[in-house]
């Protein structure tokens, strides 16, 4: 089937990211191990990315932050000033998707070749990302990229729909949860570490309300809502240290690697 120019660029982009991810992962693989897919899902600020990143490091796997991909598309919509237009005419999002490229360079997220790792964590992006990620064309495009990235296995991928939609056959599915107040505290600490003055920081109560609102929007959307897969192992991290939650996921991963 002939590809349009935009489809061609998109395919090339997928193969480039896949090549980067696979070459990194292969160089660390130990011969004789069965490499699995680990899906880490859960609500906002439940510790998914820290846990997933550290488990991937310990296993020599590739870590893929799918939230960063949705955040990058949202950042692009804000940057181009098209967010309000998309609310009225969501079908226009195809044009935005065709005009952007997302790639990873280690932990850095590149949008159209520029490092946007810090900007995509901005509260402005956090407030709008649930809307952008509810749009079907966005989900279809990013799901295709994520499936390509995990095709060779040996990946830890975190998000909202990895165990339910992107990789329902993942050998290990984790669902992390935590009290909203605890999650707001963690997100506040994360933002404080990055802020240059306290005036840039949101009120902690407001942060908690935003997290609850985002969870509700993610769970109630029509396409690929935030949901626990029946086979997923649920871990409540409210009273766990990060070391303990990493150890729990790592132990489960080693068991599943043995088959």
Residues forming the site for ligand CDP (CB under 6 A): 44-45, 48-49, 66-67, 70-71, 129-130, 133, 159-162, 214, 218
Q: Based on CB atoms, which residue is closest to ligand CDP, 129 or 145?
A: 129
User: In the bound complex, what is the minimum distance in angstroms from residue 166's beta carbon to ligand CDP?
Assistant: 7
Least distance (Å) from ligand CDP to the CB of residue 49? 6
Nearest Cα neighbor of 59 from 177, 178, 172 is 172
Q: Which is nearer to ligand CDP, 36 or 162 (CB)?
A: 162
Alpha-carbon distance of 213 to 18, in angstroms, equals 34
Q: Which is nearer to ligand CDP, 204 or 254 (CB)?
A: 204
Question: Whole-number minimum distance, CB 44 to ligand CDP, in Å?
Answer: 4
Shortest reach from residue 144's CB to ligand CDP, in Å: 13
The smaller minimum CB distance to ligand CDP, of residues 51 and 66, is found at: 66
Q: Which is nearer to ligand CDP, 103 or 133 (CB)?
A: 133
Q: Least Å distance between CB 50 and ligand CDP?
A: 10
Nearer to ligand CDP, 25 or 146 (CB): 146
Contact 98, 10 (CB under 8 A): yes
Q: Which residues contact 12 (CB under 8 A, 6 or more apart)?
A: none
Cβ 198 to ligand CDP shortest distance, Å: 21
Closest approach, Cβ 158 to ligand CDP, in A, equals 6
Token pair listed for 56: 């991937």
Q: Are 172 and 55 in contact (CB under 8 A)?
A: no
What CA–CA distance (Å, rounded) separates 253 from 224? 25
Residue with smaller CB distance to ligand CDP, 48 or 141? 48
């Amino acid at each position: 089937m002939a590809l349009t120019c935009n489809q061609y660029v998109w395919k090339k982009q997928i193969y480039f990211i896949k090549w980067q991810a696979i070459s990194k992962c292969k160089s660390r693989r130990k011969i004789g191990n069965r490499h699995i897919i680990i899906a880490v899902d859960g609500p906002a600020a439940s510790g998914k990315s820290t846990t997933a990143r550290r488990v991937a490091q310990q296993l020599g796997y590739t870590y893929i932050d799918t939230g960063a991909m949705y955040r990058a598309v949202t950042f692009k919509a804000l940057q181009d000033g098209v967010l309000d237009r998309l609310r009225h005419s969501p079908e226009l999002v195809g044009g935005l998707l065709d005009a952007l490229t997302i790639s990873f360079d280690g932990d850095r997220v590149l949008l159209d070749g520029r490092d946007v790792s810090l900007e995509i964590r901005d509260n402005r992006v956090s407030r709008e990302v649930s809307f952008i990620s509810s749009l079907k064309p966005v989900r279809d495009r990013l799901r295709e990229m994520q499936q390509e990235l995990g095709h060779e296995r040996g990946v830890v991928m975190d998000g909202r729909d990895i165990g339910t939609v992107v990789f329902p056959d993942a050998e290990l599915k984790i669902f992390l949860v935590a009290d909203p107040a605890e999650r707001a505290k963690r997100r506040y600490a994360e933002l404080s570490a990055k802020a240059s003055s306290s005036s840039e920081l949101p009120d902690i109560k407001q942060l908690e309300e935003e997290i609850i609102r985002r969870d509700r929007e993610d769970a109630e959307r029509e396409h690929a809502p935030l949901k626990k897969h029946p086979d997923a192992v649920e871990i409540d991290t409210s009273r766990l240290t990060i070391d303990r939650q990493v150890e729990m996921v790592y132990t489960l991963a080693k068991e599943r690697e043995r088959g």
